[in-house]
């Protein structure tokens, strides 16, 4: 089950944050600011009442572009479609805010996350050498045409059923 995150989720989110990103986890203060920002939308995944994942998007009202801020699942709950469901929730929220294009940064040594993003239509547009400096890992900047993504999920019915 997915639902909007609240600051009551902070402790459970931080536990997953720290275990998922051991060298570059956000601080609790940073995560709280993320959850409280009116420009952001955070979603959590729950299984049997237990928070197993979270994801967030930055999509300020009126802006034409947005950012996938983060996404992570408890290590025991990965590979079962929940990450994709969380990403879809973020992209749907951004589309409702009339965002046109989405951006994100992903570690060059994270092929699993890259695979998820590419399968949704994100494409690499830039590399940031040593962006993840604690590990000496490059960052890959990816972009998604969100209107194309939305169109692909909701094909126009203009021509459907038209007999001539």
Ligand X SMILES: CC(C)(COP(=O)(O)OP(=O)(O)OC[C@H]1O[C@@H](n2cnc3c(N)ncnc32)[C@H](O)[C@@H]1OP(=O)(O)O)[C@@H](O)C(=O)NCCC(=O)NCCS
Positions in the binding site for ligand X (CB under 6 A): 20, 71-73, 78-84, 106, 110, 112-113, 115-116, 119
Q: Which residues contact 146 (CB under 8 A, 6 or more apart)?
A: 66, 91, 94, 95, 99, 100, 101, 102
Query: In angstroms, what is the minimal distance from the CB of 83 to ligand X?
Result: 2
Which residue is nearest to ligand X, using beta carbons? 83
Specify the residue, 50 or 112, whose C-beta has the smaller distance to ligand X: 112
Specify the residue, 99 or 113, whose C-beta has the smaller distance to ligand X: 113
Query: In angstroms, what is the minimal distance from the CB of 28 to ligand X?
Result: 18
Specify the residue, 37 or 110, whose C-beta has the smaller distance to ligand X: 110
Specify the residue, 40 or 82, whose C-beta has the smaller distance to ligand X: 82
Specify the residue, 62 or 79, whose C-beta has the smaller distance to ligand X: 79
Query: In angstroms, what is the minimal distance from the CB of 55 to ligand X?
Result: 7
- Other CB atoms closer than 10 Å to residue 50's CB: what's the count? 10
């Amino acid at each position: 089950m997915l639902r909007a995150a609240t600051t009551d989720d902070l402790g459970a989110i931080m536990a997953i944050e720290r275990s998922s990103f051991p060298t570059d986890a956000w601080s609790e203060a940073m995560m709280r600011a993320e959850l409280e920002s009116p420009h952001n939308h955070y979603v959590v995944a729950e299984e049997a009442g237990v928070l197993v994942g979270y994801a967030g998007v930055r999509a300020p009202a009126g802006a034409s572009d947005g950012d996938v801020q983060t996404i992570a699942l408890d290590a025991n709950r990965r590979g079962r479609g929940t990450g994709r469901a969380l990403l879809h929730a973020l992209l749907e929220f951004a589309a409702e805010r009339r965002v046109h294009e989405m951006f994100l940064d992903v570690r060059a040594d994270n092929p699993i996350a890259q695979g998820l993003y590419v399968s949704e239509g994100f494409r690499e547009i830039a590399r940031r050498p040593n962006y993840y400096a604690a590990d000496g890992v490059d960052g890959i900047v990816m972009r998604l045409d969100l209107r194309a993504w939305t169109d692909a999920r909701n094909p126009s019915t203009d021509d459907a059923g038209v007999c001539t």
